[in-house]
């Protein structure tokens, strides 16, 4: 199993598959995120939450945490069911950066702190961003959905 700070000891760029998910109930409200990393047949799961957040912030947090876990440059296939995350990172961010982190309407970009975090850590890796349909029987996507729910529920459990 990978430790928090170790992905591979090989000298070549390792390949890592990552699945991420996040959500809130209600939105906004308590939220959770989940991550599944797969490297050389080994898996690592992570989850967490925030007592007051949004679905989009949890989706972005999951991706940021997953990429920050990698301690050396990797080739990454990252799978998300969030079109917001995938479109933001593959299409919209160039305009935001060009407009000094303003959207097309001239307003500050929502979740700018997380977008910057993801863009910064992504520079270290070769990341391919893949969208998968949610709740469509994709085993890894279902697992990270479950982890995100657990992350949220752990915040709201009575002691």
Is 81 in the active site?
A: yes
Q: Is 9 a catalytic residue?
A: no
Catalytic residue among 59, 88, 93, 151: 59
Q: Which of 5, 41, 106, 135 is catalytic?
A: 135
Residue 23: φ, ψ to 5°: -175, 170
Backbone angles phi, psi at 76, to 5 degrees: -120, 135
Active site residue 50: no
Give yes or no: 59 in active site.
yes
Instruction: Starting at the earlier edge strand, list the strands of the sheet with 126-131.
Output: 42-53, 29-39, 15-24, 75-80, 126-131
Annotation marks residue 17 as catalytic: no
Catalytic residue among 31, 34, 145, 151: 145
120 flagged as catalytic: no
In the set 81, 88, 93, 151, the catalytic residue is 81
Query: Which is the catalytic residue, given 21, 32, 49, 93?
Result: 21
Indicate which residues carry an active-site annotation. Answer: 21-22, 59, 81, 135, 145
């Amino acid at each position: 199993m990978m430790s928090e700070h170790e992905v591979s000891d090989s000298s070549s760029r390792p390949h890592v598959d990552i699945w991420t998910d996040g959500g809130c109930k209600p939105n906004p409200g308590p939220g959770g995120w989940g991550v599944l990393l797969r490297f050389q047949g080994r898996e690592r799961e992570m989850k967490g939450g925030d007592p007051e957040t949004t679905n989009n912030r949890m989706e972005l947090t999951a991706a940021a945490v997953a990429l920050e876990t990698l301690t050396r440059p990797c080739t990454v296939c990252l799978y998300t069911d969030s079109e917001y995350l995938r479109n933001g990172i593959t299409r919209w961010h160039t305009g935001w950066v060009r407009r000094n982190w303003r959207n097309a309407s001239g307003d500050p970009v929502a979740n700018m702190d997380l977008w910057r975090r993801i863009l910064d850590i992504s520079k270290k890796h070769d990341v391919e961003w893949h969208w998968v349909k949610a709740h469509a029987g994709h085993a890894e996507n279902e697992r990270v959905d479950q982890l995100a729910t657990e992350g949220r529920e752990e915040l709201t459990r009575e002691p």
